[in-house]
């Protein structure tokens, strides 16, 4: 056993590449070791902006030996009439590296074949590792690759050195005109090197003590947090941590050194969102806040070295941030002097999407649609939602959002508050872009949800009307995210709305002069299929079985909140004893109705006459249907699907008795139609709860 180290030295890699590279090379290297039958205790990977390292503990010095049976050509063609080996036999012997004495006959149903047992593996690990290393490096993928010099080799950034050791032995290979060796390089300033690494087990000590590198990204993040919290507490404040930024900062540096910077208190007149965006987006810094959430005139930045003159470095960071904050203050003042009416007029010159008109057109559609949606969920909010819809996009032409586009919506809400708009309106505008993804929170207010749904529904209809429908991984307008967002908001607030009706209303808000690529009926049909697929993905993602979700969707999905309740109840119903048999029973009823009704050209109404039924079993079923009808409707109106499926459980024995004792297709035409209508009444109820055909295994 020995330790193994592979270090790939590179020019500074973009921070967004680093975490994925660490995961990828670990997985790739682990797979390659397994494929080559090389055992080890563990495989770890570490990534910094300037190096990728694979560390293997207790790697086996030899491949495992495995005896395996191999089959060759049919025996009938392996030997001639005299029993001498043919070319087919000789070829098998040569290809497998065996002798004629190793061959035996394998009897199979298809005939006799040549067979042999051979031992594979057993090679020296040091002889196999060069190819494993080359393969692992070449398998790494990047959002963008580059080449340098006259080399044909491409990588995320140019390679600068290769270190590869198994124990004390250098694993020799060449790549991009570099030869592997035992030299590593440290921090560009704090320990540039090169440093010789005697053995693989010495690597981490040299990296830490001589190279001045914190090689673990998790450790770099912990150091930033620990020191940041300590520095902030000395100011009686706390750091405004942002996980995504912390990860980015941790992958921008190899030797994190957090320090506090300061800015003039006069900048605190700017909204907190503006200050944080200036710090986070442009300077990769964190804000410092008081207990009440207000910001302090300080920020936390992370250096990539221990400076000789820390005050000089601090002043440099402060100078750069000050310039950004001065810009923000200028934009803030200019925007406060501008009325919404000016911005709304400017929206008339901002294109929304090709033939769909301007953002001014969209804002008027949102005004109308938001009021109509509010009318369905809370009529008291119609006036406020109409106003919020009208001015929701106004901040897109503000100076602040033009400079800091991440603040769209947030600044609109702030500016609305400054101009005395209703608080409900302000909050709705600020939350209009939520949820921003599957893990993003939905709006915290109903008003925010209404405006968000309004915006997303308008975009969905417009894009589908232009036939810009997502295909495969292509979704240029984030329509899947928009549909999922609407679904999540409806469920979060338990809204009793018809999702397809909302899309229909959104379509009617568009100008009659728009040249659609599809007709209205086709637009809404395709939108229905799209929403159905998103609902399917959502509920299966929540852990519900696919066939349960498909069965619930088959009974309708326009009321998403009711659909959720139906999925939950059907999932529980599916766990009961006898469920599979119940599915077969109810599916049988549906099949009979389909074959004897619609396919036969017979119109069935579901209206039956108990007095004209003959057999006691069919009379019992009819009576049971009549007795449970009122209760079924009451439960249906209350979306009580658990008890609705309970009624199906009550009906099932009567349906079984019916099929066991009654011949549906009677020679008496009147009796046959009466029996078919009895089954139609049953199927009508079943189809409101689930598509039982989708439940059949």
The pLDDT of 400-419, averaged and rounded, is 94
The pLDDT of 243-255, averaged and rounded, is 94
CATH architecture of 2-62+124-209: 2-Layer Sandwich (3.30)
Asked whether residue 88 carries a pLDDT value surpassing 90, the answer given is no
Helices (H), 307-445: 310-336, 340-346, 359-377, 382-391, 399-403, 410-418, 423-430
Question: Which residues on neighbouring strands pair with residue 358, listed in sequence order?
Answer: 351
Higher pLDDT: 503 or 613? It is 503
Cα separation, 259 vs 230, whole angstroms? 10
- In this prediction, residue 601 carries a pLDDT of 73
**pLDDT band per the 50, 70, 90 thresholds, residue 424:** very high
Inter-residue contact 261 to 227 (CB < 8 Å): no
The pLDDT of 628-644, averaged and rounded, is 92
Q: Which phi and psi angles does 116 have, rounded to 5°?
A: -160, 155
Say which residue the tokens 């600068």 belong to.
160
Cα separation, 599 vs 203, whole angstroms? 77
Tally the C-alpha atoms within 13 A of residue 643's C-alpha that lie toward its C-beta.
11
- In this prediction, residue 261 carries a pLDDT of 96
Lowest mean pLDDT among 41-45, 346-350, 420-424, 677-681: 677-681
Higher pLDDT: 597 or 564? It is 564
**Which fold, 573-695?**
Isoleucyl-tRNA Synthetase; Domain 1 (1.10.730)
Inter-residue contact 50 to 158 (CB < 8 Å): no
Cite the residue boundaries of each domain of the chain with CATH code 1.10.730: 573-695
The pLDDT of 666-693, averaged and rounded, is 87
- In this prediction, residue 277 carries a pLDDT of 93
The pLDDT of 481-501, averaged and rounded, is 96
pLDDT by residue (tens digit) across 433-457? 999 888 899 999 999 999 999 999 9
pLDDT by residue (tens digit) across 223-232? 999 999 999 9
Asked whether residue 646 carries a pLDDT value surpassing 60, the answer given is yes
CA-wise closest residue to 350 among 341, 334, 361: 361
Asked whether residue 517 carries a pLDDT value surpassing 70, the answer given is yes
- In this prediction, residue 64 carries a pLDDT of 82
Cite the residue boundaries of each domain of the chain with CATH code 3.30.70: 2-62+124-209
Helices (H), 67-155: 75-78, 87-96, 125-139
**pLDDT band per the 50, 70, 90 thresholds, residue 697:** low
Q: What percentage of the chain reaches a pLDDT higher than 90?
A: 71
Pairing of strands 104-108, 111-121: antiparallel
- In this prediction, residue 25 carries a pLDDT of 95
pLDDT by residue (tens digit) across 93-123? 888 888 888 888 888 888 888 888 877 777 8
The pLDDT of 371-377, averaged and rounded, is 96
- In this prediction, residue 591 carries a pLDDT of 84
pLDDT by residue (tens digit) across 29-68? 999 999 998 989 999 999 999 999 999 999 999 888 777 7
Q: Which distant-in-sequence residues (6+ apart) come within 8 Å of 492 by Cβ? A: 442, 449
pTM for the model stands at 0.80
Q: Residue 598 CB: number of other CB atoms within 10 A?
A: 11
The pLDDT of 324-332, averaged and rounded, is 94
pLDDT by residue (tens digit) across 543-556? 999 999 999 999 99
| Three-state SS letters, 151-208 | CCCCECCCEEEEEEEECCEECCCEECCEECECEECCCCCCCCCCEECCCHHHHHHHHH
Q: Residue 162 CB: number of other CB atoms within 10 A?
A: 22
Higher pLDDT: 491 or 663? It is 491
Q: Which phi and psi angles does 571 have, rounded to 5°?
A: -65, -40
| Average pLDDT in the chain | 92
pLDDT by residue (tens digit) across 165-174? 999 999 999 9
Asked whether residue 320 carries a pLDDT value surpassing 70, the answer given is yes
């Amino acid at each position: 056993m020995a330790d193994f180290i592979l270090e790939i030295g590179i020019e500074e890699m973009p921070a967004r590449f680093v975490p994925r590279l660490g995961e990828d090379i670990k997985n790739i290297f682990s797979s390659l070791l397994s494929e080559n039958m090389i055992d080890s205790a563990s495989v770890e990977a570490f990534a910094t902006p300037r190096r990728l390292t694979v560390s293997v503990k207790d790697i086996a010095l030899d491949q495992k030996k495995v005896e395996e049976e191999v089959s060759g050509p049919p025996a009938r063609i392996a030997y001639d009439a005299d029993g001498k080996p043919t070319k087919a036999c000789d070829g098998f012997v040569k290809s497998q590296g065996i002798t004629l004495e190793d061959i035996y006959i394998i009897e199979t149903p298809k005939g006799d074949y040549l067979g042999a047992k051979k031992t594979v593996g057993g090679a020296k690990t040091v002889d196999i590792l060069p190819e494993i290393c080359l393969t692992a490096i070449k398998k790494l993928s990047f959002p963008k690759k580059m080449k340098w010099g006259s080399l044909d080799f491409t990588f995320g950034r140019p390679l600068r050195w290769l270190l590869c050791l198994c124990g004390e032995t250098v694993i020799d290979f060449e790549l991009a005109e570099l030869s592997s060796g035992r030299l590593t390089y440290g921090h560009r300033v704090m320990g540039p090197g090169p440093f010789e690494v005697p053995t693989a087990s010495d690597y981490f000590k040299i990296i830490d003590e001589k190279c001045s590198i914190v090689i673990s990204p998790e450790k770099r993040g912990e150091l930033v947090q620990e020191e940041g919290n300590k520095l902030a507490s000395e100011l009686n404040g706390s750091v405004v941590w942002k996980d995504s930024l912390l990860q980015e900062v941790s992958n921008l540096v190899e030797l994190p050194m957090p320090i506090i910077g300061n800015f003039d208190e006069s900048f605190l007149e700017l909204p907190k969102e503006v200050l944080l965006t200036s710090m986070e987006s442009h300077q990769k810094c964190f804000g410092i806040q008081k207990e009440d959430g207000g910001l302090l005139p300080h920020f936390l930045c992370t250096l990539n070295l221990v400076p000789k003159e820390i005050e000089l470095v601090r002043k440099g960071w402060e100078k750069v941030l000050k310039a950004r904050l001065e810009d923000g203050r200028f934009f803030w003042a200019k925007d406060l002097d501008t009325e919404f009416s000016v911005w709304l007029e400017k929206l008339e010159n901002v294109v929304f999407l090709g033939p769909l008109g301007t953002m001014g057109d969209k804002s008027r559609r949102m005004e109308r649609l938001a009021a109509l949606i509010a009318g369905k969920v809370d009529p008291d909010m119609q006036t406020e939602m109409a106003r919020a819809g009208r001015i929701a996009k106004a901040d897109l032409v503000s100076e602040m959002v033009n400079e800091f586009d991440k603040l769209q919506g947030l600044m609109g809400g702030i500016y609305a508050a400054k101009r005395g708009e209703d608080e409900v309106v302000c909050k709705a505008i600020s939350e209009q872009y939520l949820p921003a993804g599957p893990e993003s929170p939905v709006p915290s207010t109903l008003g925010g949800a209404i405006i968000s749904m309004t915006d997303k529904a308008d975009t969905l209809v417009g894009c589908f009307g232009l036939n810009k429908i997502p295909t495969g991984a292509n979704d240029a307008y984030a329509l899947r995210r928009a549909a999922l967002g609407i679904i999540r908001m409806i469920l979060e607030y338990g809204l009793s709305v018809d999702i397809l009706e909302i899309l229909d209303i959104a379509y009617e808000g568009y100008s009659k002069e728009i040249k659609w690529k599809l007709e209205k009926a086709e637009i809404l049909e395709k939108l229905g299929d799209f929403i159905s697929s998103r609902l399917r993905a959502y509920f299966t993602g929540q852990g519900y079985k696919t066939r349960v979700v498909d069965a619930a969707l088959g009974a309708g999905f326009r009321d998403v909140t009711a659909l959720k309740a139906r999925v939950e109840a059907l999932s529980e119903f599916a766990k009961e004893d006898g469920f599979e048999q119940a599915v077969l029973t109810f599916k049988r009823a549906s099949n009979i109705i389909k074959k004897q009704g619609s396919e036969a050209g017979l119109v069935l109404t579901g209206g039956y006459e108990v007095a004209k039924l003959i057999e006691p079993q069919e009379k019992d079923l009819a009576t049971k249907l009549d007795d449970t009808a009122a209760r079924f409707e009451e439960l249906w109106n209350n979306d009580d699907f658990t008890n609705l499926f309970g009624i199906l459980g009550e009906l099932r024995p009567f349906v079984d008795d019916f099929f066991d004792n009654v011949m549906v297709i009677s020679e008496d035409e009147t009796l046959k139609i009466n029996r078919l209508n009895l089954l139609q009444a049953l199927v009508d109820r079943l189809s409101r709860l689930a598509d039982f055909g989708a439940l059949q295994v």
